[in-house]
């Protein structure tokens, strides 16, 4: 009697889905979604529009069950302890997702907005789940089209000058980066438009985009001082139209000849 072949290890797949628009799902991502038994997704509210976008992606690609997990709140009371608050939040997310994996059999996926490598913590959270030691699985990461790429394509620009570097940062760290001498920056996660603090500095140019890659995409470009009011109003309109807004922008201060 031949020995029984061992079964394949359980797999968790981290799939970059770009903006969530069907045209931005790569063939690789589509195949990965079709290969799993269920998808785990954070639900930030009862009517979370980003959750519905993920449901539509599932319906189009194999129709795996979407398991919505209420997103643990993040402590924002002490802005000086940002790192500690985020660490606690990631631990809470890991515990919540782990519970789903313990309760359900089969392969799972996380559908990651944009690309898992850029300002997203799903990889870190999955590593936390494994470190807890209560559930075993293999995991892989599939890249997605990031907002950095869509921003550049939509504005028909290159994100850096010839032979020059580019810094990718957040609104929270923008002014620090400028003080350090950076003058070519892609800024993400800037709900407060920290760039408004640069209005007194001449020369800054801005290429801005909201809900990039979707049917509600909005673009604005020009000298920062001239276009910032338009950006503020366009941001409000995008949020009203879609129920959410994600924006990214390039700031550049060309060198004086």
Mean pLDDT of the chain: 91
In terms of Cβ atoms closer than 10 Å to its own Cβ (0-12, 13-18, 19+), residue 213 is buried
Fold of 11-142: Cobalt-precorrin-4 Transmethylase; domain 1 (3.40.1010)
In terms of Cβ atoms closer than 10 Å to its own Cβ (0-12, 13-18, 19+), residue 39 is buried
Query: Rounded CA gap, 85 and 172, in Å?
Result: 15
Q: Which helix H or strand E contains 130, and what residues bound it?
A: helix 122-132
Q: Identify the pLDDT of residue 67.
A: 97
Q: Enter the pTM of the model.
A: 0.87
In terms of Cβ atoms closer than 10 Å to its own Cβ (0-12, 13-18, 19+), residue 125 is buried
Q: Identify the pLDDT of residue 1.
A: 42
Structural contact between residues 209 and 147, judged by C-beta atoms closer than 8 angstroms? yes
Q: Identify the pLDDT of residue 121.
A: 92
Backbone angles phi, psi at 6, to 5 degrees: -65, 145
Q: Using the structure block, give the residue that is written with the tokens 């643990």.
A: 72
| CATH 3.40.1010.10 domain range(s) in the chain | 11-142
| CATH 3.30.950.10 domain range(s) in the chain | 147-252
pLDDT digits (tens, 9 = 90+) for 129-139: 999 999 999 99
Bridge partners for 172 per DSSP: none
Q: Identify the pLDDT of residue 240.
A: 86
- Superfamily designation of domain 147-252: Tetrapyrrole methylase, C-terminal domain (3.30.950.10)
10-residue averages of pLDDT along the chain (257 residues): 60 95 91 97 84 92 95 70 79 95 97 93 96 96 95 97 94 95 95 93 95 91 96 91 88 82
């Amino acid at each position: 009697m031949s020995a029984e072949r061992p079964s394949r290890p359980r797999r968790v797949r981290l799939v970059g889905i770009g903006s969530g628009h069907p045209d931005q799902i790569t063939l690789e991502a589509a195949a990965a979604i079709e290969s799993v038994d269920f998808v785990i997704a954070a639900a930030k509210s009862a009517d979370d529009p980003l959750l519905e976008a993920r449901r539509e992606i599932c319906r189009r690609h194999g129709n795996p069950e979407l398991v919505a997990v209420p997103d643990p709140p993040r402590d924002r009371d002490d802005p000086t302890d940002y790192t500690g608050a985020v660490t606690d939040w990631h631990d809470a997310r890991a515990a919540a997702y782990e519970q789903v994996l313990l309760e359900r059999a089969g392969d799972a996926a996380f559908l990651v907005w944009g690309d898992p490598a850029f300002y997203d913590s799903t990889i870190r959270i999955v590593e936390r789940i494994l470190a807890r030691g209560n559930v075993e699985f293999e995991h892989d990461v599939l890249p997605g089209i990031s907002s950095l790429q869509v921003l550049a394509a939509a504005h028909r620009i290159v994100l850096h000058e010839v032979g020059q570097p580019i810094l990718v940062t957040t609104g929270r760290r923008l002014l620090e980066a400028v003080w350090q001498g950076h003058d070519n920056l892609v800024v993400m996660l800037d709900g407060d438009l920290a760039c408004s603090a640069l209005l007194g500095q001449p020369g800054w140019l801005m290429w801005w985009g909201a809900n990039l890659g979707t049917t509600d995409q909005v673009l604005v470009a020009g000298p920062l001082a001239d276009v910032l009011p338009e950006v503020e109003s366009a941001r409000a309109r995008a949020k009203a139209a879609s129920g959410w807004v994600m924006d990214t922008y390039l700031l550049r201060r060309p060198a004086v000849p």
